[in-house]
Structure 1
Amino acid sequence: MGRTRLYLVRHGEQDIAAGVRADGGLSPLGREQADRLGRRLRGVPFAAIHHSRSARATQTADVVATHLPQVPRHSCDLVADRTPVPSAGQRGRYPDRWHAWLDGVPDDERDEDATALQAAVAHFGVTSDVDRHELLITHNFVIGWFVRHTLDAPTWRWIGLNQANCALTIVHWDSDRPPTLVSFNDTGHL
């Protein structure tokens, strides 16, 4: 059976000149981070680059793709910027200290009971008859959710798993064993 290796990357540093909530794309440093990431990943035989629709993730994918010109890429709603929040019936699965913060998550980022993130793991975390390498350019909490899933940690444990911009986290799936965390928040190329 084939193996699946997911390369999870947080977008490059965002240009926040327009304000914290605005999606103004990448800062000059963010473009440099993406370029360094692309150079590091040149030799990986990716099947595809999947990125969220946000300007910062799209621009990160644009820069990385210059180093991987043969690899198809597309925007993918499965890796959109999401924050898993518990439904009323699941609040007890999260420590009380996080409830107020979770209540303040904007409606457009809320993923109640991580329904969309669970679908992303189910979609990407599968094996087939051939080895597969996929690059996901996404957001901090999405990567945190994949890591939490891989480690079989409590539902709330994605909180505090912070990714540096353009850091590399790799998760590996084999058909006959649970997923494995190969690397977490690797910034060696930066």
Structure 2
Amino acid sequence: MTTTFLLVRHAAHDKIGNFLAGRTADVPLGPAGREQAERLGARLAGENIGTIYASPRKRTQETAAAIAAALEIPAVETADALDEVDFGTWSGKTFEVLNTDPHWHQWNSIRSLVRAPGGETMLEVQSRVIALVETLGRQESDGKVVLVSHADVIKALVCHVLGLSADAWPRFEIAPASISTIVAGDWGAKIVALNENVS
């Protein structure tokens, strides 16, 4: 028995690429992001999906809601394990400011060892998302599940499935409104699609 996980990065907000949104709860999708979310719904409408889980952040909830509407799924389940990395005091800062911080450069060089100030390590992020996938795999065997999350969380899971260090995160892209697909079973897990972009 296998479970297919469709890992969806949330659609774009208006300031994507300009500041570290992190766990800033009130960052909604912008107009372009809402269009991306609708395209995600159209793309996933024929996938026979049973359940949708999403991070508690507004941008993921709005993305998941658009997918649920297209699939006629009545409710989205919120999963804290899919939440954005806890970037601690970095959350909400512009990348211009962050790029002057040596700790930020260290974080991006060796994420497997460095903790965000007042926040998480990438290994902690990886641990929580792996635990969720293992739990859902037992509950949703032979089904398809959508997980709407954030780039770094998806990258942490992909690195684990591929047997890569968490430090391998810059070697592949997880774009806004992209879909990456993992199939998991008692035998392990494999990537069957990476960064399918519907935007």
Same topology, TM > 0.5: yes
Matched, 1:121 2:121: no
Per the alignment, in what secondary structure is the counterpart of residue 144 of structure 2?
strand
Cα deviations by residue, 1:108-151 (Å, 9 ceiling, x for unpaired): xx323522431321221364484021101100001101110110
Give me the TM-score of the superposition, normalised by structure 1: 0.78
- Which residue number corresponds to residue 151 of structure 1? 162
Answer with 122-131 or 61-70: which moved more.
Answer: 122-131
Would you say the 8 A contact 2:86–2:120 is kept in 1? Answer: yes
Structure 2 vs 1, CA of residues 169 and 57 (structure 1 numbering), >3 Å: closer, same or farther?
same
Aligned residues: 172
Per the alignment, in what secondary structure is the counterpart of residue 181 of structure 1?
strand
Give how far 1:105 is off: 3.6
Answer with 145-154 or 61-70: which moved more.
Answer: 61-70
Unaligned runs of 5+ in 1: 85-96
Per the alignment, in what secondary structure is the counterpart of residue 42 of structure 2?
helix
Matched, 1:99 2:106: yes
Relative to total residues, which structure has the larger strand share, 1 or 2? 1
Give me the TM-score of the superposition, normalised by structure 2: 0.75
Unaligned runs of 5+ in 2: 88-103
Distance (whole Å) between structure 2 residues aligned to residue 174 and residue 162 of structure 1:
25
- Which residue number corresponds to residue 43 of structure 1? 46
Structure 1 residue runs of 4+, over 6 Å off?
Answer: none
Structure 2 vs 1, CA of residues 47 and 185 (structure 1 numbering), >3 Å: closer, same or farther?
same
- Which residue number corresponds to residue 87 of structure 1? none
Which among 146, 162, 178 is matched to residue 188 of structure 2? 178
Distance (whole Å) between structure 2 residues aligned to residue 140 and residue 186 of structure 1:
13
- Which residue number corresponds to residue 144 of structure 2? 133
- Which residue number corresponds to residue 78 of structure 2? 75
